[in-house]
Amino acid sequence: MNIVIAGGGLVGLTTAALLRPAGHDVTVLEQAPEIRAAGAGIGLWENALRVLDRIGDVRALGEEIELWFYDPAGRRVRAADDRFLLVPRPELNALLAAAVGPERIRLGARVAGFGDGVVRLAGGDTVEADLLIGADGVYSQVRAQMLPDSAARPHDGHYAWRAVVESDLRSGTVLTVGRDRTRGGYHRVGPGRVMWMVNQFDAGPLTGRKRDRALVRARNLAGDGWHQELLDMIEGTPEELILENQIMVVPPLPRWTGDGVALIGDAAHGLSPHISAGGTLGIEDADALRAALEKNDLAGYEQARMARFRRVREFAAAVETAASPAQYAERYAAFTRWMLATV
């Protein structure tokens, strides 16, 4: 089958790398001028790693993390017995792109429309396709044409701040559940480099500079000297390096497939990042779609994945509304146990 994949991110590249050995002729369209990573690192659970094992030695790229949460006083709360792998995004994307092959990746190619077996690109070029896979993220152009009323929506005043900074911190990952619906912490993403992150639900009015806004929320995570290193990192981060985002989510869709088209990853189900599993679940999508194409059963892919994500959204809402660090950890553990047991 001649397959075109819109989007050269984690899920698009994984999909292409899985479909090539199955005998499909695959072309990846990436609108950016290069294959690049959004963010410094990504946590991948075992269900995603088992899929990626068939592509390359992803496990060798990452650092295994034992997951704990902390309360604002620094007391540890067990989240789950399972561990995830923290993988640097640039190295992961490079491995996946090499598996796909540079000759199969078109850069600077943005999808402008599709139909009748043809994908139209901005600028006038066309590409023939038996199947177009929309792996082009929360702001998917493929989804916009397929389902015009499906634009991504703000997630209830949910904002996030993050930056990658130089640091000699040796602790791998610290995640704190704080006051006023604030979450955050930091994790090491390489020798001498740490990514700090803070997010808040119902953040209210944003005043001051980005650094000021991040510090106000970070203080909800800190008490009695706990997390002083986080506050110091934010204080020392140049304003221009701080990323501030209104979290956007994709609403539940009436369908994921159409005539010669299928959605996958964030294009199909962009979630709030507070459950830290969007990449893992997108990789699940890629393998499910591969299996469905072997059976010529796109409808089966759609039905199974939509049903799974109805349950994911229930877990995500439960985690979001947890009233205490202990309840947050308990609900998060329930989600990860379910995800790993039912994949």
Q: How many Å apart are CA 215 and CA 37, to the nearest integer? A: 26
pTM for this prediction: 0.93
pLDDT tens, position by position, 93-150: 999 999 999 999 999 999 999 999 999 999 999 999 999 999 999 999 999 999 999 9
Average pLDDT, the chain: 93
Q: How many Å apart are CA 271 and CA 215, to the nearest integer? A: 25
Which structural domains are found in the chain, ordered by start?
Answer: 2-62+86-152+250-324+331-342 (3.50.50.60), 155-247 (3.30.9.30)
pLDDT tens, position by position, 271-328: 998 998 999 999 999 999 999 999 999 999 999 999 999 999 999 999 999 999 999 9
DSSP label of 58 = G
CA atoms within 13 A on the CB side of 310: 8
* DSSP letter for each residue of 247-315: EEEPPPPS-SEETTEEE-THHHH---GGGS-HHHHHHHHHHHHHHHHHTT-HHHHHHHHHHHHHHHHHH
pLDDT tens, position by position, 44-63: 999 999 999 999 999 999 88
Please check whether residue 234 is in contact with residue 244, taking contact to mean a CB–CB distance below 8 angstroms.
no
Amino acid at 81: D
* Confidence (pLDDT) at 168: 84
Please check whether residue 5 is in contact with residue 17, taking contact to mean a CB–CB distance below 8 angstroms.
no
Mean pLDDT of 56-74: 89
Alpha-carbon dihedral sign for residues 249, 253, 257, 260: negative
